[in-house]
Structure 1
Amino acid sequence: MSHATARRRPAFAARFGAVSFIALAGAATAPGHAQTQPQAAQDAAAPQGIADIVVTAQRRAERLVDVPIAVTSIDGGKLADAGVNSVIGLAQTAPGLRLDYSGPYVQPTVRGVGSPLVGPGLNSNVAIYVDGFYVPNPLGSDFQLLSVSGIQILKGPQGTLFGRNATGGAILVNTLDPSFEPKLIARASYASFDKLNLSGYASTGLGDSLAMDVTAFYERGDGYIRNINTGKTVSHYDKWTVRPKLLFRPSEDVSITLAYQHSMVDDPSPFLTSAYDGLSSATIAAPGVAVPTGRRETGNDAPAVSTLNSDLVMLTGKFDLGFGTFTSYTQYRDDKSNLAGDYDSTAAPIMAPDWRVWDKTFTQEFNLSSAPGGPLTWVLGLYYYQNKNQYPGYNVSLFGSPKFEYFRSTSRTKSYAAFADMTWEAMDGLFLTGGLRYSIDKVRGSFLCSACGGLAGEGEETFKKLTPRVNVRYQLGASSNVYASYNKGYKAGFIPVSAFDTVPIKPEQIDAFEVGFKTADGPLRFDLSTFYYIYKNLQVAAYVNSAAVYRNAEKSEIYGLDGQLSYDVNEDFSLGLGATYTHAKYKQFGNAVDYVQNPATGLFDHPDVLVDGNVMPRSPKFTANINADYKIRFASGANIALNANFYHTTKFYFDSPKRFSQGAYELLNLRATYNTADERWAFSIFGNNVTDSAYRIQVLPGDFAIQQVYGEPASIGASITFKY
C-alpha cells in the first residue's frame, strides 16, 4: 500500500463512520408499524413446537427434523456467542466442514469433498449462498457474517436443488429482512493485535408498505505477523461493508426486496507466508538469507497485497399465488482484486508475482413451490448463470529482474438449468421424494502466454448432465424420522487456461448414499447419519514452473458417520455436541505431482508419484465440537451469559502425496456477557483460541518454496452492544 493511501485511511474511516452513524440513527427513529413475521416461519408446513427449527434446505420452509438431509443449522445468536464472525470460522461450529485458504482463495471441504483448485474461472465444489444467491468467486467467499439470522450447512451433494457446484454440499447464509418496527443494534469491540470492530444494524418502516434496513461494518487491526528482517509488524488490514435493503410489501401476497452491498478488504496476511519446515529455494540459491518458519513470521522482500472491492445488487420477488409461491432471484456481482506476493518467502529476490482478477456474474432464478399441506408438495425451478473471469495480466519478477507479463487469460461460463423436486406422502407417515435437474454448461477460455514465446490459445466446450435424487422418509412419531437417500452431484468441466491448454478438464460427479435418523423430543434434539460416496474425476491441481497442471482423479471412495446432539438441561443451561468420522481415500488416481527440493539449485522438482490408496487432502478422520451455554440470573432482571465453544480435528494432509500435513489441534473460544435487565445493553469479554493452538490454515507447494500461513494465535477482547 502506498504512503498516500495510508495517509488517507484515518480520514476515510472517520467519514465512513460518521455517514454510517447518521444513516443508522435516522433509520432507527423513522416511523413504522407492526413487524411482519419472517416468511420462512409463515410458510412452514408442519405445526411448530417448542424449539422447532425451520430450514429451507429443500428450497421450501420445513421443520429441520422433517428434512431428510444432514443439516447443521446455527442461528445468528449462537454464531456470535461462539465468536464466529466470518465464513472461515464456521468450521468451529459444524463437524465435517473444513475451511482453508489457498492465498486469499477460500477452499471449503465437507466430509472430505473439496476442490484443491484456484485460478482463472475456477469455482469451489461446495456452494455458498447468501439470501438465496450463489457466491461464485472464491476470492469473495470469506465475507463477514453481518446481521445474520441463521446459517444452514448442507452436507452431501446438492446437485438437484442447488446446482452444478454443490458436489460436496452447500452453505446457506440468511440475513435479516427489513422490519416495519424501528430496530437498532450497534456494537463496538476491541481485541488483541489492535483489532477494532465497529458494526451496526438499523431497520424501520417508511410507510404502510415500505421498510428499509442498513447494515454497516468496519474493522481494522495490526494482525500478528512480523517481518524477521525488519522486526516490524506487516499484517495491518482494513475491511468495511455497507449493505442497505429496501422491502416493498403492498399486500400480504407480494414482497419485493432490493439490496445493494459494497465491500472493501485490504488484508495482506494470506501472502505473508513462512516456509514449511524451512523449505525455501533461498536456503541453497541465497545462502545465509534468513528463512522464516514460525507462525507469526514472514521474510518477504516483495510487497504482499490482497485487496477486494465488491459490488453486489440483489432483487428478490415473492408472490403468493394461492396454490403456491413464485419467487424470482436476480443478482449482479462485480468483484475486483489486486494480488501480490513473494513466492520464496524470504528477502532473497527470487520470485515475486503480482496480478489482478476481475470477476463479473449475473444470475437469474425462478422458483415455483407448492403451498404447504396436502399429500404432494413440490418445487419447480429455472436457473441461468453467466460469469466472466479475467486475469488481465499476471506479472513476475525472477531473480531480481524487472517485472514482465507472464500470461493473461479470460474465462467465460454460461449455465442453464431446469429442476423439479416433489415429495408425496404415499401412506400415513411414509414420504417419497424424487428430483431431477438438467444442466447445460457452456465454457470458453482464452490465454496469451507472453513468457512462452507468445503462445496463445482459445477453446470451448459444452457439458450436459442430468442429476437425480431419490429419498424415502418414514415418520416414526410427531418429531422423529428415519430416511434413506441417493443423490448425484456434479461439477462442470473447464478450459484450463492457466495451464496454457485448451483441452477441457472432465466434469466431476459423485454418487452419494445416506441413511439417517432425526428426533426432536422436548429439550433433546439428535441427528445421526451414515454416508457412502463414489467420487469420479475429482479435479485436482498442482503448480509447476509457475503454471497450473490439472488432472482428474479417476475414482475415490468416501464413507463415514455424522452425528449432532443438543440438550436443554433447563431454561438457563444448554449443551450441544457434534462429531463426524470420515474415511476419504483415492481408489484410482495414478500419478500426482510431488515436490522435492533439488540439492543443486534449491528449486523444487516435480516427480510424479503413485497416490492410489492415499488419504484425500483436507480430510481429517475425526472432527468434533462442543458448545455450552449457561445463564446466571439476578433478582434485578439482569443476567450473565457464559458460552464455551470447543473444536477438535485429527491430523490431515494438504496434498495428495501426503508430504505436507497439519497435526491434530483444538480451538477453544470463551465468552461472558452481562445483559442489563431491559436488554438494551450488553457488555462482553471474550477469548478466542485461548489455549493458543498453532495450526496451519494453508500450505502452498510451489517451485520456489513450500509456503504456509497459520491461524490467529490466542486473543482476548471486550465489546459493548446497544439494542433498541
Structure 2
Amino acid sequence: MKKYKRACLLAGTAATLMTVWSAAHAQTGEDAPEAETRRLNQVVVTALRREETLKDTPIAVSAYDGEQLGRERVEDFADIALQSPNVQFGANGGNTNIAIRGIGTNLQTAGNDPGVAFNLDGIYVADPALALSTLLDVKRVEVLRGPQGTLFGRNATGGAVNVISNTPTTTASYGFNTSVSAPLGVQADAFASGPLVDSGKLLGRIAVQKIYREGDVENTAFTGPDHLNDQDSLSARAQLEWRPTSTLSARLQADYQDADTAGPAYYLAGTPNTGLGLPAQLASTFIGGLDDDEIAVTAGSSKLMQRNLALFVDWDLGPGSLRATLSTRHSENDRFYDGDGTEVEYTSTRVDQSRDTDFFELLYSSDGDGPFSYILGANYINDQQVQIVEVPVLFFPAPVILTGDVDTEAYAVFGRATYEVTDYWSVFGGARYSSDRKSMDESNNFIGTDSKRDEWSKPTYEIGTSLDVGQNSTAYLKYATGYKSGGYASGSLQSAFDPETNSMWELGLKGTYLDGTLNANLALFHMAYEDLQVNQVVGVSSVVTNAAEATINGVELELVQQVTPEFSFIFNGGWLDATFDEFLTEDSARPQLGPLSLAGNDLPNAPAYTLSFGPAYERDLSGGGRLSLSARYDWRSEVYFSEFNLPLVSEDSSGRLNAFANYEFPDGKWQIGLYGRNLTDERTYSSMVVASAVLNSIAMATANPGREVGIRLSFRH
C-alpha cells in the first residue's frame, strides 16, 4: 500500500512538472491564451527578511493571508498546519507541538528549545505556546520549511513560522469580525487604525479579540471542571507609530493576552506493555474515548497570561535601511491536568511556569538596486525560565516535585547576499555564528539538587543558485545547514544533552503559468541529522536524548489553478520519508525488552503523506455584491507519536472536510458567511504520551476538534 501511494504521488508530481513545462513553452508560441481569465495575485513574503514575491524566494514557504484566515475563522495554528505540506500540529500538557518535515517542538520541561523557530513581527519567541496561542489582527502567516538558521536563528533546524501583524495605516479605518458557532462558541474581533494628528506624523492602531467556547467534552466526575476542550481568552494589541521625517519611523507595540480554561481532555488510550496491563484501579472504572462526548477526570485547568512591549525603529539611509528591534516579554503559564483519564485519583500533573525574555536585534538591508544585494544582522536574547512540576501518584508516599530555574543567553551575527550574474541567473549565500550560554538550578525531591552551566557555539551557512527557466518561473538549488542549541531537562538531574545539527540539499521550482492562471511551487529535499534531540519519558520526568543519526527525504507541491474567472482549485501535497539511521535506546514503558535499535523507525509526528485540496467559486452578482464558496479536504496518512512506532501510540490515516460560504454586500463594507470545519465529525488523536513502567505504562492522548459549524458577520470601513 505504501509503495502504491508513493507511486501515485510521484506520478502526480511528474505529471505536474510536464504540465508546467508545456505551459511555460506554450506561452511563447502563437497559441498563447488570451488574458480572459482572472490572473492570480503575486504573493509577497518576508522569508528573506525583506519583502519579495514568493516566486523570487528560494525557500519552500507557504503564506496565508490574514483576511482569508478571518473569513475561515482560523483561531490558531492548527488549521494552518493542516493546509501545509509536511507540517504536523499537536498539543500535550499545555505545550504546542509543531513538526515541520518531521522535526518538532514538543517541549515538556524547562531547559530545552524548539526545533522550529517562532517569530512574531521579527521577534524570536522562545515558547511556541506563547507565539501561537492567538492570531490577533494578523496580516500574514508564513511557514518556512527546512533549516532556516542563517536568518532566523539557532533553533530552526526544522523550519520557522513567521507571524506578521497589521500595522497602523495612513488613512482611517475600523472594523469588526464576530461569529457564533455550535458547539456553543463566540469570537469577536475589532480594530481601529489611522492618523492621530493632522500632519500624519503620528499613527495609531488598536485591536482586541475575545474568544469563548464551551467545552465539547462533558466531565461526569464529581470533582474537576464541568467541561473540557473549552476556550476563554482576551487578547489586545496597541500600537503608536511616529514618523518625524520621510526616512525615519519608530513604532511602539504593546501586546496582552489572558486565557483561563479547563484545558484539553486527556484520554486513557491503554498501555503498550501488554504484560503489565492497566492498573487494577483504572481497569474497572469509566474510561472516555474519542467517540464519547463524556469523560470522568478529577483535574483540569489552564491559565495563560502574557504581555509584551516592543519598539521598532526604521531608518532609511539611502543605499540601505536599518531596523532596530527591542522587546521584553513576560508570561505565566500554569496547567493542572488529569494524568490517568479517569475519576480515580491515580495521578495528575501540575505545571507552573513563568518566563521573562528580552530580545534585541539590529538588521541592515541594502536597497536591492544593482546586481548585488545583502542583509547584515546581529541579535541578543536573554531568557529566564522558572518551572515547578508536581506529580502526585496514588501509591507514592509523597508527590514528585521537579523544579528548574534556567537562564539562557544567546547571541548571533549573520549575513546573506545575492549576486545577479546575469539577468536570469543569480547566486546566493549566507552565514551565521550562534553562541549559547545556559545555566540551571534544579531539584527532584526524591533524588536531590544540582546546578549546571554549559556553553555551545556553531557556525551555520547556506549557498545556492537560482535560474529563471521561463518568463515567469524560477528554479533554485541550495545547500543549507542548521543548529539547535544543547540544553537540559529540568528535574531529571541528568547532564546536558548535545546540540542538534543538520544539513539539507533542496531543489525547487516556482512559477506562474498559463497566462498567470496557474501558480505552482515544487520542492525536493534531502536532510541529514546528527545528534537529533528526542523527547522521552523516564520515570516520572521528561528527558531529552540525542539520537545518533536520522535522514529525511521528501517532496512538496503547492498548486493554485484559476480554471475560469469564477472557479479555482488548490492542491497542496507532501511526501516524507523520515527515519532514524542509528538510535540505540530503551523504552521505559517496556523496560523488560532492554536496549532497542530503532534504526529504520519513522520519526514521531512525521506522516508519510499530507494532502490538502479543494475548489473555490467567486462571482459578482447581478444585483451587486459578491458570493464566495469554497471547500477543502485535509488528509494525513498514519502518524506515530513516539520513536518506538507502536500501533497503540499512533493515529490511522484521517481527513477533515471544511466548507465556507461568504457574501459581500454591494457597499463592500459588510460581509456575512457560513463555515463548517470537520463536517464529517472525524474523531482523531492529536498527540499521545506514554508514561514509564513506574506509572504502569499508561498512554494518555489528546484529541483533535470535532465538528464545528457557525455563522460570521464582519464590517470594515
Q: TM-score, normalised by structure 1?
A: 0.88
Q: Tell me whether 1:64 sits opposite 2:51 in the alignment.
A: no
Partner of 2:598: 611
> For residues 611 and 151 of structure 1, what CA distance do their matches in structure 2 show?
36
Cα shift at 1:283 = 4.3
Equivalent position to 1:140, from 130, 137, 153: 130
Equivalent position to 1:630, from 610, 613, 617: 617
The AA in structure 2 aligned to 1:657 is: F
Partner of 1:44: none
Partner of 2:633: 646
Structure 1: runs of 5+ lacking an equivalent: 1-48, 597-603
> For residues 395 and 472 of structure 1, what CA distance do their matches in structure 2 show?
52
Cα shift at 1:60 = 1.7
Q: How is 1:659-670 mapped onto 2 (pairs within 5 angstroms)?
A: 659=646, 660-670=649-659
Q: Tell me whether 1:684 sits opposite 2:673 in the alignment.
A: yes
| Structure 2 counterpart SS, 1:655 | coil
Cα shift at 1:593 = 2.2
The answer to which of 438-447 and 293-302 deviates more is 293-302
Partner of 2:685: 696
Post-superposition CA distance 1:217-242 (Å, at most 9, x none): 11111111122445953444311101
The answer to which of 633-642 and 254-263 deviates more is 633-642
Q: How is 1:503-522 mapped onto 2 (pairs within 5 angstroms)?
A: 503-521=495-513, 522=516
The answer to which of 279-288 and 188-197 deviates more is 279-288
- Structure 1 residues 229 and 554 mapped into 2: Cα distance closer, same or farther (>3 Å)? same
The AA in structure 2 aligned to 1:710 is: A
- Structure 1 residues 258 and 129 mapped into 2: Cα distance closer, same or farther (>3 Å)? same
Partner of 1:13: none
The answer to which of 563-572 and 434-443 deviates more is 563-572
> For residues 525 and 237 of structure 1, what CA distance do their matches in structure 2 show?
37
User: Is this contact kept in 2: 1:282–1:289, CA < 8 A?
Assistant: no
- Structure 1 residues 592 and 565 mapped into 2: Cα distance closer, same or farther (>3 Å)? farther
Cα shift at 1:338 = 1.3
> For residues 404 and 648 of structure 1, what CA distance do their matches in structure 2 show?
42
Aligned residues: percent identity? 25
Q: TM-score, normalised by structure 2?
A: 0.89
| Structure 2 counterpart SS, 1:498 | coil
Equivalent position to 2:354, from 332, 349, 358: 358
- Structure 1 residues 351 and 606 mapped into 2: Cα distance closer, same or farther (>3 Å)? farther
Post-superposition CA distance 1:621-671 (Å, at most 9, x none): 110111432123222211221121221111110001111111111111111
> For residues 40 and 337 of structure 2, what CA distance do their matches in structure 1 show?
52
Q: Tell me whether 1:264 sits opposite 2:253 in the alignment.
A: no
- Structure 1 residues 450 and 566 mapped into 2: Cα distance closer, same or farther (>3 Å)? same
- Structure 1 residues 184 and 479 mapped into 2: Cα distance closer, same or farther (>3 Å)? same
- Structure 1 residues 606 and 243 mapped into 2: Cα distance closer, same or farther (>3 Å)? farther
Cα shift at 1:83 = 4.1
The AA in structure 2 aligned to 1:510 is: N
Cα shift at 1:480 = 1.2
- Structure 1 residues 310 and 574 mapped into 2: Cα distance closer, same or farther (>3 Å)? same
User: Is this contact kept in 2: 1:592–1:657, CA < 8 A?
Assistant: no
Q: Tell me whether 1:294 sits opposite 2:290 in the alignment.
A: yes
Post-superposition CA distance 1:599-636 (Å, at most 9, x none): xxxxx978543211101101111101114321232222
| Structure 1 counterpart SS, 2:150 | coil
> For residues 295 and 594 of structure 1, what CA distance do their matches in structure 2 show?
30
> For residues 576 and 345 of structure 1, what CA distance do their matches in structure 2 show?
40
> For residues 167 and 55 of structure 2, what CA distance do their matches in structure 1 show?
25
> For residues 297 and 549 of structure 1, what CA distance do their matches in structure 2 show?
33
Cα shift at 1:594 = 5.1
Cα shift at 1:298 = 6.1
Partner of 1:7: none
Cα shift at 1:111 = 1.4
User: Is this contact kept in 2: 1:409–1:497, CA < 8 A?
Assistant: yes
Aligned length, in residue pairs: 664
The AA in structure 1 aligned to 2:635 is: H
Q: Tell me whether 1:242 sits opposite 2:242 in the alignment.
A: no
> For residues 329 and 414 of structure 1, what CA distance do their matches in structure 2 show?
17
> For residues 407 and 52 of structure 1, what CA distance do their matches in structure 2 show?
51
The AA in structure 2 aligned to 1:435 is: G
Q: How is 1:434-513 mapped onto 2 (pairs within 5 angstroms)?
A: 434-452=429-447, 455-501=448-494, 503-513=495-505
Partner of 1:183: 173
Partner of 1:568: 562
User: Is this contact kept in 1: 2:382–2:408, CA < 8 A?
Assistant: yes
The answer to which of 631-640 and 358-367 deviates more is 631-640
Equivalent position to 2:410, from 409, 415, 428: 415
Cα shift at 1:339 = 1.2
User: Is this contact kept in 1: 2:629–2:661, CA < 8 A?
Assistant: yes
Q: Tell me whether 1:99 sits opposite 2:92 in the alignment.
A: no
The AA in structure 1 aligned to 2:473 is: S
Cα shift at 1:301 = 4.2
Partner of 2:206: 214
The AA in structure 2 aligned to 1:719 is: R
| Structure 2 counterpart SS, 1:78 | helix
User: Is this contact kept in 2: 1:324–1:370, CA < 8 A?
Assistant: yes
The answer to which of 406-415 and 281-290 deviates more is 281-290
Q: CA RMSD in A?
A: 2.1
The AA in structure 1 aligned to 2:119 is: Y
Q: Tell me whether 1:385 sits opposite 2:418 in the alignment.
A: no
| Structure 1 counterpart SS, 2:49 | coil
Partner of 2:45: 55
> For residues 193 and 628 of structure 2, what CA distance do their matches in structure 1 show?
26
> For residues 345 and 203 of structure 1, what CA distance do their matches in structure 2 show?
47
- Structure 1 residues 642 and 301 mapped into 2: Cα distance closer, same or farther (>3 Å)? closer
Partner of 2:324: 328
> For residues 336 and 41 of structure 2, what CA distance do their matches in structure 1 show?
48
- Structure 1 residues 496 and 712 mapped into 2: Cα distance closer, same or farther (>3 Å)? closer
The AA in structure 2 aligned to 1:427 is: T
> For residues 236 and 576 of structure 1, what CA distance do their matches in structure 2 show?
32
- Structure 1 residues 407 and 278 mapped into 2: Cα distance closer, same or farther (>3 Å)? closer
Structure 2: runs of 5+ lacking an equivalent: 1-38
Cα shift at 1:684 = 1.1
| Structure 2 counterpart SS, 1:223 | coil
> For residues 155 and 288 of structure 1, what CA distance do their matches in structure 2 show?
46
| Structure 2 counterpart SS, 1:341 | strand
Post-superposition CA distance 1:57-110 (Å, at most 9, x none): 111221211111111112123323444221222112211111111221111111
Partner of 1:672: 661
- Structure 1 residues 118 and 233 mapped into 2: Cα distance closer, same or farther (>3 Å)? closer
Post-superposition CA distance 1:113-135 (Å, at most 9, x none): 22444211322111111111112
- Structure 1 residues 274 and 607 mapped into 2: Cα distance closer, same or farther (>3 Å)? farther
Post-superposition CA distance 1:652-707 (Å, at most 9, x none): 10001111111111111111112110012111111110011111111121143211
Equivalent position to 1:251, from 245, 266, 288: 245
| Structure 1 counterpart SS, 2:548 | strand
Post-superposition CA distance 1:205-261 (Å, at most 9, x none): 102201111110111111111224459534443111011111112222112111111
- Structure 1 residues 561 and 282 mapped into 2: Cα distance closer, same or farther (>3 Å)? closer
Cα shift at 1:337 = 1.3
| Structure 2 counterpart SS, 1:164 | coil
Cα shift at 1:163 = 0.8
- Structure 1 residues 232 and 323 mapped into 2: Cα distance closer, same or farther (>3 Å)? closer
Post-superposition CA distance 1:252-311 (Å, at most 9, x none): 2112111111101123233x2111147797642455222223354564543211111001
Equivalent position to 2:527, from 525, 533, 539: 533
The AA in structure 2 aligned to 1:439 is: S
User: Is this contact kept in 1: 2:473–2:510, CA < 8 A?
Assistant: yes
- Structure 1 residues 132 and 225 mapped into 2: Cα distance closer, same or farther (>3 Å)? same
User: Is this contact kept in 1: 2:612–2:635, CA < 8 A?
Assistant: yes
Partner of 1:376: 372
Cα shift at 1:336 = 0.3
> For residues 348 and 283 of structure 2, what CA distance do their matches in structure 1 show?
19
> For residues 669 and 605 of structure 1, what CA distance do their matches in structure 2 show?
45
- Structure 1 residues 661 and 404 mapped into 2: Cα distance closer, same or farther (>3 Å)? closer
User: Is this contact kept in 2: 1:103–1:698, CA < 8 A?
Assistant: no
The AA in structure 2 aligned to 1:717 is: G
